[in-house]
Amino acid sequence: MTRNSIESTPLTMPAPAGMNWSTTAIMVLLHVGAVGALFMFSWRYFAISMLLWGITGGLGISMGYHRLHTHRSYRVPLWMEYFFAVCGALTLEGGPIFWVATHRIHHQKSDQPGDPHSPRDGAFWSHMGWLLFGDVNHNNTLIMSKYAPDLAKHKFYIWLNNYHWVPTVVLTVILAVIGGLPLVLWGVCFRIVVGFHCTWLVNSASHMWGYRRFATRDDSRNNWWVALMTFGEGWHNNHHAHPTSARHGLAWYEFDSTWILISILKKLGIARQVQMAKVTSVVVSEREAA
């Protein structure tokens, strides 16, 4: 299936079915663990936590799940593509097929009926409520594969989607051996919770606050502080206007660390077929306030 056919295929998220108690319980435990980490603070643990967030959130979510797996805005060798997917799974935001399918639905239904996480349904809903209420199909590989057929062709992605929690369990054991409970709380709970809220801010804040460069059909906005927290993902209006562009920060002042890394891979000959949008005109004033 080509990129164009992926973008044009009508998608519909399965209907919610009430509170997802298993997801809610895990969320509560992780948040409790993150708070507990603060009572065992050390700069070493904090640094390790942020390093792991850079690997899992930067390489896993921004470079991997989002710009590579979902939008195919660039290409890398298959082993690196798989590596980015494992990094993405370590965020506990779901397996690659689930994440990609959900995001593709978001683009086709953005801020319209059927959007999995639009602020038009409430700020809390767009931030995390959509995960707590209803069947989010984290492990329903069969259903979500319909929306990510390109990934479903790979047995590795099917396995990783079914067992997306395995990399986190392995990492937890390693951190427990190295640093005991404090390192587990920082390297797993604190890091994952920070990652959750950073990603969720793209869904919520970047559809409510910021400026609009392009007159897209949704409420997407460019938000500088979300961009700083998410490796460049906060330049969300730019992204919705040019979804297949590997570059999200389109102006010199729109810092996009993920684009910098992709550019380095391109110069090294590792990344290829890199898509890049350029600003040719300003459709909506950049000073427009949310």
- Name the more confident of 30 and 9: 30
What pLDDT score was predicted for residue 22?
86
* Residue 157, number of CB atoms within 10 A of its CB: 23
What pLDDT score was predicted for residue 21?
85
What pLDDT score was predicted for residue 270?
98
Please state the domain count of the chain: 1
Q: Confirm if 212 and 288 have CB atoms less than 8 A apart.
A: yes
Confidence of residue 7 (pLDDT cuts 50, 70, 90): very low
Instruction: With CA atoms as reference, report the closest residue to 84 among 57, 106, 108, 44.
Output: 57
Phi, psi (deg, nearest 5) at residue 260: -60, -45
State whether residue 272 is helix, strand or coil. Answer: strand
The answer to the question of residue 16 being in a domain is: no
The answer to the question of residue 36 being in a domain is: yes
Expressed as residue numbers, the domain containing 97 is: 28-267
The answer to the question of residue 258 being in a domain is: yes
The answer to the question of residue 127 being in a domain is: yes
The answer to the question of residue 243 being in a domain is: yes
Instruction: Spell out the residues 6+ positions from residue 69 whose beta carbon is closer than 8 angstroms to its own.
Output: 81, 84, 85, 88, 96, 99, 100, 151
The answer to the question of residue 164 being in a domain is: yes
The answer to the question of residue 178 being in a domain is: yes
Instruction: With CA atoms as reference, report the closest residue to 172 among 28, 29, 21.
Output: 29
Q: Confirm if 105 and 13 have CB atoms less than 8 A apart.
A: yes
Confidence of residue 255 (pLDDT cuts 50, 70, 90): very high
The answer to the question of residue 276 being in a domain is: no
Confidence of residue 141 (pLDDT cuts 50, 70, 90): confident
